[in-house]
Structure 1
Amino acid sequence: MLPVDVQFVVGLSGYFVKDLAAVRHSPSYNPLTDTAIRPRTSGFKSVVQPGQVISIILHLPNGSTAIGDCADVIFSGAASRDPLFIAEDNLPILHTVVKKWLLSCDLSQFRPNAEYLSSTWPQLNNRKLHSALRYGLSQALLAATAQVYSCTIAEIISREWGTHIAKHPVDILASCHRNDTLQLDRMIMKQVDLLPHASFVHVSDIGSNGAVLLEYIAFVARRVKERKAVGYTPRLHFDVYGTVGDIFTNTDQLVEFFGMVQRAAEPYEVLIESPIIANTKEEQIRRLAELRGLLRSKDVKVKTVADEWCNTLEDIKEFACAGAVDYVQIKMPDLGGVDKSIDAVIYCKSKGVGCCLGGSANETDVSARITAQVALAVRPDFLLSKPGIGADEGLMILRNEMLRGVALAGRAKTWCRL
């Protein structure tokens, strides 16, 4: 089963991209008004830019189409990630090199196509495709294989990896704006499993000695208690982008601060993502492992989540083997091919390490739906809501796709034969 045609369409992502180095090194930071801040990361023309995607449209012999969206994360080019994804720079590669290969792909199996996609390409001087290209192309190929068998994407993954499809939707972390109380209230009303993410990107965001962060954590815990339904006990998650590690450079002080975080969040379990951003992967793993060990020895129950420097399947294996964190965020666009994210979840589960099948607000509805199908097949601990940071929209897309996927996977069928 070969595609009969392929199209490449440039479009908008669900959010925008930011130069993390410029943000972290600026004296103060306002993402849309501080136009005087100069970019520090290659490819950025300004510190904040609109996100771009390239849609891959595969045309199948039966007249149907399979679509994948090439997208990168908000903070592209940071902490060993691939450079900023610029659509016009990658279109020539798609037209001159990738299109010919796509038209020769046998769509009856996904994994062999994904493995080739992730390899080095002789036509590109033995370089790999940009991670965003690998991400979108693998989505389209996976969707196409599901079209061949008239089944769900989750069923294709289950068959090719030998997994068992979830009977219920996977938990979702709703990503909310820090300053939007109504958005937070809506997520509490909808009883999301984890909230609010609420990014703290600059040290000014968390305040002197982390006071603003502590106040916000206490506010969220209080808001949940005031407005929750009986039996609703969400986990609280906060992404601090290394800011607490910037203030508390001594690990003992950081552990003491996390004890304050735990008390502020009571009675809810709390997860802190990227408490530290080091200068190298090795230092990141070492410092996070030291922090986790001290948290356990002091009986501080705050859980830590890795993001920066934990970008590829190989990185994730290193963090997991080192016991560096309680959870890793499997940031799907950074891993490139969807198959790598599948492998990452399976590996984390085999090592007893928690994982968030995540990604970025900078993704699209197409990539979010495919993420939901992947989640059903490999069952990570939770998902990050995407695209965008509207929370409602991402929650709707992911939850409904999983509900439909569970229903479809449970129907009687005789697929699996051409």
Structure 2
Amino acid sequence: MQIKDVLLAPGNGAFFYDDQAAIRAGVSQDGFVYVGEPVTPNFESIRVPASSLSVGLVLTDGTVVWGDMMSVQYSGAGGRDPLFDATQIWDLTSRVVEPRLLDVDTSRYLSACSKVFEPFEHERLPLALEYGVSQALLRVAAHQQRSTMAEVICSEFNLPLPTNKVPIYCQSGDTREINVDKMILKAVDVLPHGLINSRQKFGVDGQTFMEFVKWVATRTREIGRPGYNPVLHFDVYGWIGQEIGLESQRIADFICRVADRVPGFTLNVECPADFGSTEAQIENYAKIVSILDNRGSSARIVVDERCNTLEDIRLFAEAKAAHLVQIKTPDVGSLADTARAVLICKENKVGAYVGGSCTETDLSAQASVHVSVATQADMMLAKPGMGVDEAFSIVGNEQNRVLAMLNHRRFQNEKLDEKAVWHAERS
């Protein structure tokens, strides 16, 4: 089965692209709008509605499968690709990628990705393009094999069919208190993100942040069902380093104080500081991890900024420069590399968190679930959007459907094996 045509359709991401540098500089908010001038290149305003571009592959049997391209919320920050430009990506897809797709053998997923994503004019293709096209190619392979996308990943990487659920992590956005209540009532595995992305939310010496962490823990005990004990995960967007200084020991001391305020909970702190480069980030995060481990702290460091591509993830994992690596799917590029990233983390005994962005779509979220389940990541993000209900249902329901299909397939195979044994014994 071959691809006989390629379709492109403009779309919307589920949230907004935000200029992180401008927000960090302290611009004010007027309702949902940030007031001030953008700082990051290609942003015409600080907050821009997220756009996406769908790529549809028309197969010789008439089936059309889709994938979605987009960037992450904080595009252009922390070494990431620039802001998504749908017009530019459309042109590049039509001129460069479409001819490759029409010529590629789609029966082997990893081989197809390698050929379609070869460099163009000695440059890697935009990661958003890789991300969307790799989703569509994964769906082609699943269609041809009459299987799930998870089974394709398991087959390509020689992995056993999974049986366990991957814990789901929800993010609150700015509607923190209401969304925390939703997460607790729905017994979310990991919560609440918190969007601690400004001095106002972090507070002088981190006091506002510490009070919020304690409130989340208290609220969990107040309204959560008996025995519910989620992981508490907060993304502080580098504000610990910005507020108290870029010194590893002081940052580790602060994180320990936060963890001490919520005994009985595992505390994940994402992006405690931005040290300005991948090399500096690895060196200093490794120091912070070592200090926390030596103290026996319940806190874990999660890396996000400066850890974007597969090679970045390899460097952080090998250096033990995090307890948990966020594999930010649109920044990694091809979903094949997301799978590789999880396996690299596992090889180095570092946690693998298949994340992504609120700017994604239902299609990209569902494809990510299959990769997360197949590789048995340590946790995965409920996406897209900044609401709890929609993202949790999209990711949670897809995971349950995948596992139900895999269990059915396993049961059918066991019955066939039993029947074969029965016939062999009587022949």
TM-score band, normalised by the shorter chain? Answer: over 0.9
Structure 2 letter corresponding to 1:127: E
* Cα deviations by residue, 1:266-306 (Å, 9 ceiling, x for unpaired): 22111000001111111111111111122223333210000
Scaled by the length of structure 2, what TM-score is found? Answer: 0.93
Q: Contact 1:376–1:402 at 8 Å: present in 2 too?
A: yes
CA distance in 1, matches of 2:228, 2:117: 42
Give runs of aligned pairs for residues 81-160 of structure 1, distance below 5 A.
81-121=80-120, 125-160=121-156
2:23 maps to which residue? 23
Structure 2 letter corresponding to 1:24: R
* Cα deviations by residue, 1:181-221 (Å, 9 ceiling, x for unpaired): 23211211111110001111122211000000011000000
Q: Contact 1:117–1:337 at 8 Å: present in 2 too?
A: no
CA distance in 2, matches of 1:365, 1:324: 32
Q: Contact 2:33–2:47 at 8 Å: present in 1 too?
A: no
Q: Say whether residues 1:258 and 2:255 are aligned partners.
A: yes
Structure 2 letter corresponding to 1:252: Q
Structure 2 letter corresponding to 1:55: S
Give runs of aligned pairs for residues 159-170 of structure 1, distance below 5 A.
159-170=155-166
Q: How many residues align?
A: 410
Structure 2 letter corresponding to 1:210: G
Q: Contact 1:242–1:275 at 8 Å: present in 2 too?
A: yes
Residue of structure 2 aligned with 1:385, choices 382, 407, 419: 382
> How many angstroms does 1:129 deviate by?
1.3
In structure 2, runs of 5+ residues without a counterpart are: 414-427
Q: Say whether residues 1:7 and 2:7 are aligned partners.
A: yes
Larger Rg: 2
Bigger Cα displacement from structure 2, 37-46 vs 386-395: 37-46
Structure 2 letter corresponding to 1:139: Q
Q: Contact 1:363–1:388 at 8 Å: present in 2 too?
A: yes
Q: Say whether residues 1:319 and 2:316 are aligned partners.
A: yes
1:52 maps to which residue? 51
Structure 2 letter corresponding to 1:72: S
Structure 1 letter corresponding to 2:47: V
CA distance in 1, matches of 2:339, 2:281: 24
CA distance in 1, matches of 2:181, 2:197: 23
Give runs of aligned pairs for residues 143-292 of structure 1, distance below 5 A.
143-249=139-245, 250-292=247-289
> How many angstroms does 1:27 deviate by?
5.5
Bigger Cα displacement from structure 2, 374-383 vs 173-182: 173-182
CA distance in 1, matches of 2:210, 2:324: 22
CA distance in 1, matches of 2:53, 2:225: 42
Q: Contact 1:165–1:376 at 8 Å: present in 2 too?
A: no
Match of 2:33, SS? coil
> How many angstroms does 1:62 deviate by?
1.8
Q: Contact 1:203–1:243 at 8 Å: present in 2 too?
A: yes
1:79 maps to which residue? 78
Q: Contact 2:162–2:374 at 8 Å: present in 1 too?
A: yes
Structure 2 letter corresponding to 1:170: V
Bigger Cα displacement from structure 2, 210-219 vs 294-303: 294-303
Q: Say whether residues 1:330 and 2:327 are aligned partners.
A: yes
> How many angstroms does 1:29 deviate by?
5.5
> How many angstroms does 1:34 deviate by?
3.3
Bigger Cα displacement from structure 2, 337-346 vs 159-168: 159-168
Structure 1 letter corresponding to 2:267: V
CA distance in 1, matches of 2:80, 2:248: 26
Q: Contact 1:76–1:82 at 8 Å: present in 2 too?
A: yes
* Cα deviations by residue, 1:248-283 (Å, 9 ceiling, x for unpaired): 213333222212211222221110000011111111
Q: Contact 2:248–2:285 at 8 Å: present in 1 too?
A: no
Scaled by the length of structure 1, what TM-score is found? Answer: 0.95
1:343 maps to which residue? 340
CA distance in 2, matches of 1:100, 1:350: 37
CA distance in 2, matches of 1:265, 1:63: 56
Q: CA RMSD in A?
A: 1.5
2:421 maps to which residue? none
Match of 1:323, SS? coil
Q: Contact 2:101–2:116 at 8 Å: present in 1 too?
A: no
In structure 1, runs of 5+ residues without a counterpart are: none
